[in-house]
Structures are given as structure tokens and as C-alpha cells.
Structure 1
Amino acid sequence: MSTPPPSDAPVEPDLGQIIRAASARLGAAGVVTPDADAELLAAHVLGRSRGELAAAAFRGDRLSAQDAARLEELVVRRAAREPLQHLTGTAPFRHLELRVGPGVFVPRPETEMVAQLAIDALRATAAPAPVAVDLGTGSGALALALATEVPHARVHAAENSVDAFIWAKENFAAHAPHARLAFVDLAQAFPELDGSVSVVVSNPPYVPDEAIPRDPEVRFWDPPAALYGGPDGLDVVRVLSGVALRLLHPGGTLVIEHGEWQGEPIRRLLTADGWRSAATHPDLTTRDRATTALRP
């Protein structure tokens, strides 16, 4: 029996080879986590978990032409430093998967400890249905963490960006339809709650106007209104202090995220406004990340 002549047709690369090539391209483009990003993009295209993707790559599975073209498109966009979360349409935050895209600030892992500070304060409240307010909710990350992890709380969130509000509305509907989302400027938010709130939390814009972020994903894609907070980055924090004094009951807790060098000036600002027990807390990288204070 004769052996058929070898085929001259090119052998298509398998999934593992495609992912390794994508990772190399992303690394060359300056992406900080090229391996993870390549895997997450491939998992997104195939509708699989990273574990399932690893098994498929180990087996030597091959992509269809359609999936290969889709992955190629996403890798090109990621190499141009479009945020990974915009390409997949989701961002993880604690136990949540939030819908995100252009026009909304992508929640960061370091903000998870800010949520924890607010959750701990809310759980420590003796009221059977404590009230919490998230001022400038963006995608809804902080408010939804509170609403889902402290389910007996009544959570209200304010957002004044049309684009961000659209994303937040989708996330509230998916994760906590019982929580309240309002399209309102934080300075005028929720006067009907004055003096009844147990926790106010916010991740305000705190980047000084002249401090241009290094990462293209931040500089070119995050909404400027969610980043920049005036000459010293504290313009919105000053407003927050007054609004939170109005909303919180005596002994209520304020939690503010900020940059690593802003803890001391924020503590001074809050103390001058009459707040008690202002304290700054580090994140998991030991950088100062949030300041808390108690309403007198």
C-alpha cells in the first residue's frame, strides 16, 4: 500500500500557538500583563473560562477562521492600548462582573479595599436597614458591592455623567435592582436622606490637573471628568466633605478613595471641616488608598 505524498497545504497554528503569539505582540506593545490579556481575549472570543481555554490549548485545539479573525482584531486593538475591559465588555470587581465600555471609568482592583472599608462600617451599624450612599458611582462598583454584600442595607447611588449612568443602570438592573440609582450631581444628591445615612463612600476624580497618567489606557480612554480633580486633585473632595456632613447622621462614616500622596492633605481638610477620627488606610500594595472619618 503506497503512502500518499505529503500535502503542501500550510498547517494552521493551534490555539496554544495563537495565544503565545498574541502575548508576544502585546508584550512588544508595552502591555503590562500580556499573557493574561491574550488568554482573556481568547477566552472571550470562544466563550470559555480560562481553565477551559487552558485545557483546549493543551489538547491542541484549533480555532475556526471566524474566531481566529475575531481574536486577531481584538489583539490589534489591545496592542493599540485600548483597555482590555472595553474589548471584553466586562470588569471584575470583588464577586461582581460589571458591564463597562467607553464613557465610564473602569473599576480597579485597588478600589476593592475601599469597598471593604465601607462594607465593614455598614455591617457595624446597629440599624436593621442602614442607609448607604455612593457619590459618583460610575459603573456602580462601590454601590453594588454594598448592596450585594450587605443585603439588608438600603443603598443609593448618584451619577451625573450620561455615558456612565447608562452603564450603571445596566449593572444595577443585573445585580441589585432593589438599590436606587439617581441621575444627579453629587453636590445636590438626596436631600431627603439628610441626617439619616450611616455610610457615604466615594471614588471621586482625584488626579491633579497637571499630573497626566502614564498608561495610555487611562490617559486616552478613561473619562477626564472621572480622573481630574483640579489643581491639587481635591476639588471634588472638598465638595464631598460638605455633602457627607449633610447626609450622615452623627457617628456616620465617610470613606473616600484617593491617590497615595493625598492622605495627609485630606485628613487636614476633613479635620478643618469638623470631622472626627480621620484616618488613612493602605491598599494591598501598601500605598495609601483611602481615608475614613466620622461625622461629629
Structure 2
Amino acid sequence: MARESLRVAVMAAVQVLGDAGVPSAQVDAELLAAHLLGIERTRLGLTPLVEGEWVERYREVISQRARRIPLQYLTGQAHLGSVTVEVGPGVFIPRMETEVLLAWAVQSLAQIQAPVVVDLCSGSGVIALAIAVARPDATVYAVERSAGALAWARRNADRHRAGGGTPIHIRGGDFTDERLLTDLDGVADLVTANPPYVPEGTKVEPEVADHDPHEAVFAGADGLDAIKPLISVAAGLLKPGGYLAIEHDDTHGDSVPALLSARRILADVTEHHDLAGRPRFVTAQRVRLQR
């Protein structure tokens, strides 16, 4: 089978994905080509020709993406900060919007030695692992109730440990279960959470509606069914002076900060925006003890 132009194959893929409504057609076409070639996307220009058999495999994976199967399911990977995790059916796919929360979380620990971190609604474990990579001296706990997501979190934690990374501690169960986190009451320097927060009935992209687990995305009529109890649990986990960061829907820019501000044990409540300028996460600090 004759060799073919990679550039032509990618251009055709961009057209297919664009016609299917994929919003990032150019990027996805290039990323999938790089994935199948086993190279970085930036090195595609160094591969002018590809085998005809490769083009057939590429067309098949492009047809899958055109059916709105998530890019990350096709590559088997997702990224956050400096961490790459394995993902697939049964686990929420990490999004770029969480990068800003991660950066804030790591910065909040800058002056704390050997911090204790608890990541609630951990999903694939990506936030917990990214913090563990940034702070190898940290003791990090990842909490997840979904059996499907928990399997991915454990797989990623095992892969991280096998690569020489500091182990993180995985706990399976609902964060509202009083027995699950009793030993961590009042010991956390930082609590992070990317809980389900989309209001039921909200129109979302097919990648989310058809592939992300429903329970990891939607949270009641106002999207606050998980966040409301989470605030109480997180406040109890924090030591005096400890920090809290919760991701939320872009319609929650007023409501979630108000919920935190209503808790007398929390102070310095601050709303933050994502890279697109939308309200995305809120932070607070547990009030320090009076001397």
C-alpha cells in the first residue's frame, strides 16, 4: 500500500470533525494523529508521509471522534498540571477549567511544610496526584464514592507509585459518611473538591451527556446538591488556618460564595475565574484560633 501525505490526512480529518460539530476539530485531529504515531503533536511536521494502513486506522479513530466519543477515551489519557492520568468509561474526564484551581491549591501550600491534603469527589484522582507531584512531602488523601471512578483512581495511584511518586491514600465511600473521614477531622491544611455541580436539565455537549457519568456531572435542580453538604464536611476536615477550594458551575458565582460566607468558621471567601473568564471556583480559609 502506497505511502500518503500526513498533512492531507489531517486536513481531511479536520473537515470530518468540523462537519460533526466537534468544536476543537483542528486540535483533536492533530492530537489523534500524534497519538497514533506515538509522537508529540509539535513533531507532526517532521513526519510528511505515513503508510496507507496507518491512514485507515486514523480514519477509523476520527470517525469515532466524529460520533462525539471523547478525545480522552480514544487516547486513554487526560492531563492536569504536570500529571497524566488514564481515563475511560466510568470516570469523569478532567477539564482545562480545573487548571486554575490546581495552581491556586499548590500556591496555598507554599509556606506549609509536610501538608495534609484531602481531595473530595476525586474521580480519576487527578487533582490529588497533581498536588502530590507538586508537593512530594505532602500526605494526600483522595475520596471517591463511585465504584467505576474509584477503579480508575486506584489504577492511576498505582501507576504514580510505580513510577517513583509519593503514594497517595485512596478512600472509597461517600464523603457524607461520618465514619469515612473521622480520623482526618481538623488535620487538613487544604481541602479541594471538584464535585458534580451542573443543574439537572442543563444542555451539555454530547461528550458529557453521553459519556461522563451522570452522577459526576449533575447535582439536582440548582446544581448544589453535592456542594451544600460538602462545605460542612470540608470545614470539619480543616485545621485552623487551613484552606478550601471548591469548583462550581459558572452560574454559581454568587450562590456558592454566599454558602461559604454563611459559615462563621470560614473566612476570606474569594471567588475565582477560569481561563475563559467565567466564575469557576471559590476559596476560603478556616478561621484561626484566638490566642
Instruction: Report the TM-score, using the length of structure 2 for normalisation.
Output: 0.92
Q: Which runs of 4+ in 1 moved over 4 A?
A: none
Q: Which residue pairs with 2:46 in the alignment? A: 55
2:164 matched to 1:179?
no
Instruction: Give the Cα separation in 1 of the matches to 2:260 and 2:43.
Output: 49
Selected match of 2:249 from 244, 252, 259: 259
Contact 2:198 2:223 in 1 (8 A): yes
Instruction: Give the Cα separation in 2 of the matches to 1:136 and 1:44.
Output: 29
Contact 2:136 2:166 in 1 (8 A): no
Q: Which residue pairs with 1:229 in the alignment? A: 219
Instruction: Give the Cα separation in 1 of the matches to 2:124 and 2:31.
Output: 21
Q: Which residue pairs with 1:3 in the alignment? A: none
**Which digits, 9 at most, give the CA deviation of each residue in 1:64-122, with x for residues without a partner?**
42x22221211111001110110010112111111111111110111011111111112
AA partner of residue 186 (structure 1)? F
**Which digits, 9 at most, give the CA deviation of each residue in 1:16-60, with x for residues without a partner?**
211111111111111111111111111111212223322102xxx
Selected match of 1:269 from 253, 259, 262: 259
Identity of aligned residues (%): 41
**Which digits, 9 at most, give the CA deviation of each residue in 1:170-201, with x for residues without a partner?**
21122245111111211134210111111000
Q: Is the partner of 1:187 in helix, strand or coil? A: coil
Contact 1:260 1:287 in 2 (8 A): yes
The number of aligned residues is 280
Q: Which residue pairs with 1:162 in the alignment? A: 147
Selected match of 2:188 from 176, 187, 197: 197
Instruction: Give the Cα separation in 2 of the matches to 1:187 and 1:121.
Output: 25
Instruction: Give the Cα separation in 2 of the matches to 1:148 and 1:34.
Output: 31
> 1:265: Cα distance to partner?
0.9
Contact 2:116 2:138 in 1 (8 A): yes
Instruction: Give the Cα separation in 1 of the matches to 2:103 and 2:127.
Output: 9
Q: Which residue pairs with 2:35 in the alignment? A: 44
Q: Whose Rg is larger? A: 1
Q: Which runs of structure 2 are paired with 1:74-85 in the superposition (5 Å)?
A: 74-85=61-72
Q: Which residue pairs with 2:126 in the alignment? A: 141
**RMSD of Structure 2 on Structure 1 (CA):** 1.5
Q: Is the partner of 1:107 in helix, strand or coil? A: coil
Q: Is the partner of 2:197 in helix, strand or coil? A: coil
Q: Is the partner of 1:268 in helix, strand or coil? A: helix
Q: Which residue pairs with 1:24 in the alignment? A: 15
Instruction: Give the Cα separation in 2 of the matches to 1:151 and 1:224.
Output: 33
Q: Which residue pairs with 2:83 in the alignment? A: 96
2:235 matched to 1:245?
yes
AA partner of residue 182 (structure 1)? R
Instruction: Give the Cα separation in 1 of the matches to 2:210 and 2:189.
Output: 37
Instruction: Give the Cα separation in 1 of the matches to 2:56 and 2:12.
Output: 14
> 1:261: Cα distance to partner?
2.1
AA partner of residue 83 (structure 1)? P
Instruction: Give the Cα separation in 2 of the matches to 1:92 and 1:157.
Output: 17
> 1:248: Cα distance to partner?
0.7
Instruction: Give the Cα separation in 2 of the matches to 1:205 and 1:24.
Output: 34
AA partner of residue 110 (structure 2)? R
Q: Which residue pairs with 1:6 in the alignment? A: none
